[in-house]
């Protein structure tokens, strides 16, 4: 069986964009792959986090994973920092990546823009090497991610090929999987911009654990246009197109079908339907989340996975160390 691997980092609260762009795919694909899904907590350290907040968010992501339908029968769930081999391999990959290629990462360019060198952590720069380590440690065949992470998975492919050429075949070369619809959910107030965890407080971002009434209000006040006709046109109608994608993803029906359903509706009616759909989705997810937190089942699941992921990663790092010539 082929392997799937992906993760979400615990910076900010998990958003509807994370669900539609990433998490939903993990759940849909888990039965067809041997799945590994983790909380990328070491990735959160590229910026400062309050330690107690970080701990809570890590726990929340695990519970959200389970509430969204990741099933320990199919998916090995773990926390990155609990498997120290990730950082071992990351160092080796850093030493095999170039300043030039890391400087070309769009996310690095965006996040460092306008900041002086003293304000940018080295981790923000090297983080794609850690992400490559996450992927290559497990010989992942496929990596489902939102479109913003595609470039990082491509770097992981390049690093795998480079290492294999230098030292002999060691790593599987992974494929990014980007879902066709919903690869990028946009900010409700500024539909040119990705809905992002870093703007949690804004009216444009819906969080999975957000109060339902507040989420509905955000949909109702989403920016649209003045045409008052409902159809998908990302260039000219980014706001309406974003709402169409959200509705179609949550409802599990094709965009064309959604266009048909709402072809005679006005924007107010359409938004009300989207808000209802979002509310239903969030309320069912939050009920499951609460039950999971109360049951304490997550700890048991994580404890059971830890030995499995450690063994896989240890074997890979030993192979790498032996090939590059470190140790005895």
List interacting residues with ligand TRP (CB under 6 A): 5-9, 40, 43, 131, 134-135, 143, 145, 149, 152
The three-point CA angle 155-156-160 to 5° equals 115
Contact status: 25 vs ligand AMP (CB under 6 A)? no
- The interface mask with ligand AMP, positions 194-233, x = CB under 6 A, is xxxx------------------------------------
Written as one string, the DSSP assignment of 152-204 is HHHHHHHHHHHHHHHHSS-S---EEE--STTSSPBPSS-TTSB--GGGTTSTT
Q: Which of residues 280-319 bind ligand AMP (CB under 6 A)?
A: none
Q: Which does 21 bind (CB under 5 to 8 A by kind): ligand AMP, ligand TRP, none?
A: ligand AMP
Rule CB under 6 A: is residue 156 a binding residue for ligand AMP? no
Start-to-end CA distance of the chain, whole Å, equals 34
Tell me how far, at minimum, the Cβ of 34 lies from ligand TRP, in Å.
15
Q: Which residue of this chain has its Cβ atom nearest to ligand TRP in the complex?
A: 40
> Of all helices (H) and strands (E), which one includes residue 77?
strand 75-79
Annotated catalytic residue: which of 184, 197, 271, 316? 197
Member of 3, 4, 5, 18 binding ligand AMP (CB under 6 A): 18
Q: With respect to ligand AMP, which residue has the nearer C-beta, 176 or 317? A: 176
**Torsion of Cα atoms, 117 then 118 then 119 then 120, to 10°:** 50
Catalytic annotation on 234?
Answer: no
8 forms part of the interface with ligand AMP (CB under 6 A): yes
Q: Is 148 in the site for ligand AMP (CB under 6 A)?
A: yes
Q: Among 31, 109, 172, 194, which one carries the catalytic annotation?
A: 194
Cα 99 to chain centroid distance, Å, stands at 25
Residue 81 or 265 with smaller CB distance to ligand TRP: 81
Say which entry of ligand AMP, ligand TRP, none residue 3 contacts (CB below 5 to 8 A, set by partner kind): none
Residue 80 C-beta: closest distance to ligand TRP, Å:
7
136 interacts with ligand AMP by CB under 6 A? no
The rounded distance, in Å, linking the Cα atoms of 88 and 86 is: 6
Q: Are 137 and 172 in contact (CB under 8 A)?
A: no
Tokens of 157: 């492919």
Query: According to the binding rule CB under 6 A, does residue 149 interact with ligand AMP?
Result: yes
Establish whether 263 is a catalytic residue: no
Nearest distance, CB of residue 309 and ligand TRP, angstroms = 13
φ and ψ of 223, to 5 deg: -70, 135
| 150-167 and 122-136 helices, crossing angle to 10° | 70
Backbone CA torsion sign across 189, 192, 196, 198: negative
* CA nearest neighbour of 154 among 110, 102, 100: 102
Pick 111 or 229: Cβ nearer ligand AMP: 111
User: Count of CB atoms within 10 A of residue 70's CB?
Assistant: 21
Residue 111 catalytic? yes
What residues line the site for ligand AMP (CB under 6 A)?
A: 8-9, 17-18, 20-22, 145-146, 148-149, 183-185, 194-197
Q: Which residues are catalytic?
A: 111, 194, 197
């Amino acid at each position: 069986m082929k392997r799937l691997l992906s993760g979400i980092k615990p910076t900010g609260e998990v958003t509807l964009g994370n669900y539609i762009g990433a998490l939903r795919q993990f759940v849909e694909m888990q039965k067809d792959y041997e799945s590994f899904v983790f909380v990328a907590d070491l990735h959160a350290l590229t910026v400062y986090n309050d330690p107690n907040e970080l701990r809570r968010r890590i726990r929340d992501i695990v519970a959200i994973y389970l509430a969204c339908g990741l099933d320990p029968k199919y998916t090995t769930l773990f926390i990155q920092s609990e498997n120290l081999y990730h950082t071992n391999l990351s160092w080796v990959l850093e030493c095999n990546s170039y300043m030039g290629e890391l400087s070309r990462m769009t996310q690095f360019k965006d996040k460092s823009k306008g900041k002086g060198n003293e304000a940018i952590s080295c981790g923000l720069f090297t983080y794609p090497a850690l992400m490559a380590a996450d992927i290559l440690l497990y010989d992942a065949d496929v990596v489902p991610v939102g479109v913003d992470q595609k470039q990082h998975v491509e770097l992981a492919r390049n690093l795998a090929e480079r290492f294999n050429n230098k030292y002999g075949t060691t790593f599987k070369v992974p494929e990014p999987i980007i879902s066709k619809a919903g690869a990028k959910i946009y900010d409700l107030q500024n539909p040119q911009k990705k809905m992002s965890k870093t703007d949690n407080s804004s009216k444009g971002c819906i969080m999975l654990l957000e109060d339902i009434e507040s989420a509905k209000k955000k949909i109702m006040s989403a920016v649209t246009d003045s045409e008052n006709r409902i159809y998908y046109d990302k260039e000219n109608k980014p706001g309406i197109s974003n709402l169409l994608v959200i509705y179609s993803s949550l409802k599990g029906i094709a965009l064309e079908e959604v266009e048909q359903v709402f072809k005679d509706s006005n924007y107010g009616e359409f938004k009300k339907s989207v808000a209802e759909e979002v509310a239903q989705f969030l309320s069912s997810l939050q009920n499951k989340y609460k039950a999971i937190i109360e049951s304490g089942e997550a700890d048991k699941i994580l404890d059971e996975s830890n030995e499995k992921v450690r063994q896989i990663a240890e074997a890979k790092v030993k192979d790498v160390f032996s090939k590059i010539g470190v140790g005895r």
